[in-house]
Amino acid sequence: MHCLLVISGYRTMILMKKSLLIFSTALVVLFAGISCGQKQNQSTVTMVSDNSSGSGANAIATFGGGCFWCTEAIFQNVEGVSKVVSGYMGGKVKNPTYREVSSGLTGHAEVIQISYDTSVISYPELLEIFWKTHDPTTLNQQGADVGTQYRSVVFYHDEEQRRLAEKYKEELDKAGAFDRPIVTEISPASAFYVAEDYHQNYYNLNGKAPYCTFVIAPKLEKFRQAFGDKLKK
């Protein structure tokens, strides 16, 4: 029922996307060289191995929706979310660096791991924000960011999260919420590796950088307009 109540919002989003197609294409051409993670600093990467979803104020969710700078900036503004950490999940290499992940050869996706309070915001509400703030119909791509590391993915931490994610995805597809099929991967959570320090809290620390100005800021503005009732006070 919750999913069906927000379908009209997705359809409105599609119309907005189509009306802005020419403008968006021009931006992609103009800023083709501006993509996530151009900075190449290397620093220690820490693994967080606890994959339980938890409960109450300590519940965990993990999403990949393109560049983690974008998804981090969005979920940092959600009421009930106490912590957002950028990192890597879903690959076959231990302790990967950004340089290795960005090669596309490790199999990792750029993700954010969220700590949230279930008494304030539910997992379905987080899924709604996740699916409405990126394009889940483009395979291994978000805008100018291309590669398997930018794939759309929900990493579930227990069977309930898996069930909810699969049900939500199915209902969105059946309702035609997007003009193409959703390609979001739904996979069990695996080892989570915290990204290098310069990736953490990126938008808040680098708001005037080109990627922040031309990619993240417009995303944030659309998010705030669509989810005003879920913003932190």
Q: Which residues are catalytic?
A: 67
Of residues 231, 58, 14, 51, the one with CA closest to residue 159: 51
Residue type, 224: R
Q: Are strands 152-156 and 109-116 parallel, antiparallel or unpaired?
A: unpaired
Residue 1 structure tokens: 């029922």
198 Cβ contact partners less than 8 Å away, ≥ 6 residues apart = 39, 41, 43
C-alpha–C-alpha distance, residues 229 and 227, integer Å: 5
